[in-house]
Chain A
Amino acid sequence: MLSVHKLVVAYGGIKAVKGIDLEVRRGEVVALIGANGAGKSSTLKALSGLLKPSAGRIDYDGAEITGKPAYHLVRRGLAMVPEGRGVFPRLTVAENLAMGAYIHDDKSAIARDFERAYTLFPRLAERRAQPAGTLSGGEQQMLAMARALMCRPRLLLLDEPSMGLAPLMVQKIFETVRAVAAEGVTMLLVEQNAKLALETCDRGYVMESGAIVLADNAKTLLSSPQVRQAYLGE
């Protein structure tokens, strides 16, 4: 569904991503793990169209999308939950969700999407008239995920969904990831919480200073001594 070939992302002259290959097949949940500054977020930003890659090729759903802007990609079903959640702080919860449905204009289907979002996260229903900036970090993460689902994505990119959240909230967010995957949405998620990510995903890639150093089944990676030592603190 998504295939990345020799992708390079650079800021000025500094290469954050140094020619990586990556593949996400339909229906899979794939993790991209690695330390801070390994280039995970830059990779995701290039995939979603927020950053223009300096070299390489990205194919999605049978067509090349290298360098296409984000607003174009989301119309083709490629959505992203950005790092730091990116809720619109002075829009209400309901308005944030409505922004997720920006690309759709079928009123009754949008109403159903709202229902689904509020069923998935009853907390958001309680706070629907509140400005999103007044929500707690966990609630904002729920909102960011619910909003991305309003786009009706076929491929969802998640950038650090557990960042800065309390352990209980992290569990809740990953439960949602599993629930969304069960609905058939393909996902690629970037995480620093390697253990939880690999437990949730089918396959994983390990990134280190701009390159992919390991790629395998999530189970195999979880038991690999290299990963256990570097990312699971053993």
Chain B
Amino acid sequence: METFVQQLINGLVLGSIYALVALGYTMVYGILGLINFAHGDITMIGALVSLTLIQLLAAAGIPAPVILLLAGGGAVMVCAILGLSIERIAYRPLRRAPRLAPLITAIGVSILLQYSAALIWGKQYIALPKIIEPAQLTIFGAQLTSLQAAIFLLACTIMAGLLWFIKTSRMGRAMRATEQNPDVAGLMGVNTNTIIAFTFVLGSAIGAIAGLMIVLYYGLGHYFMGFMLGLKAFTAAVLGGIGNVGGAVLGGLLLGVIESLASGYIGDLTGGVLGSNYRDIFAFLVLVLVLVLRPAGLLGHQGGDRV
């Protein structure tokens, strides 16, 4: 029981980060029908930019809360500009091209970002300087750090804010209209290019925050970290129903919990043959099962018009 609660908590925290990244995949897919494989790497850039900022600011002896605010703000700005440029340079010229062309371009952009990061930051792991000393909390006999709690609460706030924005604001309505019928949205006066660019900026900015969270959570950064994170977030988006914003939130949290629970019990279940280092198996097991059993995902509209 204690393992269960512990892994549930770990899973929700990790899952909330997956969910933030999954939002970027699902929003872009919803509006363009494009799987932006570079999104995981945008998150990686966000993580490394915030790491560097933390290193610089910590060396200057600035208090931790200010450091985190500046690092987050810096990462958001860099990623927003990056997302905007990628859309403009790599995807917009291919808007009317067959679907395979932008997909392959996305993979190209992903590789470009990875190796640009390797040039800038090197290929070694980068450690986070110790700037915060998280307090230990105990709930239902399980351990939780104040950092984990803060990550989870901030992620939930961002997700709730985004859902509210898309549901009620004029811009959010225009985003949904563009997603459902870009031509008619244009007839209503919506400049769909602006909406698409805005979607990239929004997804990338949220990805940047997720990158900062990952850095704080694991205390490490690496130029290739966006790959696995991206695949898992993509799996979360597919699990929830890709294109569905609420689905990305649900899928992310679920995937985090499934992965944590499974890695917590895998040792006992296999008599010690497989350890928790096999945790990554479960994300992809989930992906395969969803694609076989319910390709539209948990909340996706069943119609299968795309893909």
**Interface presence of B177 (CB below 8 A):** yes
**Interface presence of A161 (CB below 8 A):** no
In the assembled complex, the CB of A71 is this many whole angstroms from the nearest CB of chain B, namely: 5
**Interface presence of B97 (CB below 8 A):** no
Interface residues of B in 150-186 (CB under 8 A from A): 170, 173-174, 176-177, 180-181, 183-186
**In the bound complex, how far is the Cα of B185 from the Cα of A87, in angstroms?**
10
Q: Which 9 residue pairs across A and B have the least CB separation, nearest first?
A: A103-B189, A86-B184, A70-B186, A74-B189, A88-B180, A99-B188, A102-B188, A71-B191, A102-B189
Interface residues of B in 88-111 (CB under 8 A from A): none
Given A90-B301, A91-B177, A102-B183 contact (CB < 8 Å): no
Interface size of B by CB at 8 A reads 18
Q: Are A88 and B192 in contact (CB under 8 A)?
A: no
Mask, B48-84, CB within 8 Å of A = 1, is: 0000000000000000000000000000000000000
Contacts of A95 in B (CB 8 A): 173, 176
**Interface presence of A185 (CB below 8 A):** no
Contacts of A87 in B (CB 8 A): 184
Describe B's contact surface by its main secondary structure: helix
**Interface presence of B149 (CB below 8 A):** no
Q: Are B189 and A151 in contact (CB under 8 A)?
A: yes
Given A71-B192, A90-B180, A79-B187 contact (CB < 8 Å): yes
Smallest Cβ-Cβ distance to B184: which chain A residue = A86
**Interface presence of B190 (CB below 8 A):** yes
**In the bound complex, how far is the Cα of B187 from the Cα of A183, in angstroms?**
22
**Interface presence of A82 (CB below 8 A):** yes
Contacts of A91 in B (CB 8 A): 173, 176-177, 180
Interface residues of A, Cβ cutoff 8 Å to B: 48-50, 69-71, 74-75, 79-80, 82, 86-91, 95, 98-100, 102-103, 147, 151
Which of A80, A89, A99 sits near B174, CB closer than 8 Å? A99
Q: Are B191 and A99 in contact (CB under 8 A)?
A: no
**In the bound complex, how far is the Cα of B40 from the Cα of A199, in angstroms?**
60
Given A50-B187, A71-B189, A86-B170 contact (CB < 8 Å): no
Given A71-B186, A102-B170, A103-B189; 9 other pairs, CB 8 A cutoff: A69-B186, A70-B183, A74-B188, A82-B184, A90-B301, A91-B173, A91-B176, A95-B176, A99-B188
Given A99-B188, A100-B188, A82-B183 contact (CB < 8 Å): yes
Interface residues of B, Cβ cutoff 8 Å to A: 170, 173-174, 176-177, 180-181, 183-192, 301
Q: Are A49 and B186 in contact (CB under 8 A)?
A: yes
Contacts of B185 in A (CB 8 A): 88, 99
In the assembled complex, the CB of A119 is this many whole angstroms from the nearest CB of chain B, namely: 22
Smallest Cβ-Cβ distance to A78: which chain B residue = B187
In the assembled complex, the CB of A196 is this many whole angstroms from the nearest CB of chain B, namely: 24
Can you list 26 A-B contacts (CB < 8 A)? A48-B187, A50-B183, A69-B186, A70-B186, A71-B186, A71-B187, A71-B188, A71-B189, A71-B190, A71-B192, A74-B187, A74-B189, A79-B187, A82-B183, A82-B184, A82-B187, A87-B184, A88-B180, A91-B176, A91-B177, A95-B173, A98-B170, A98-B173, A100-B188, A102-B170, A102-B174
In the assembled complex, the CB of A151 is this many whole angstroms from the nearest CB of chain B, namely: 7
Q: Are A86 and B183 in contact (CB under 8 A)?
A: yes
Smallest Cβ-Cβ distance to A104: which chain B residue = B189
Q: Are B189 and A90 in contact (CB under 8 A)?
A: no
Question: Quick one: which of B173, B174, B180 has the most chain A CB within 10 A?
Answer: B180
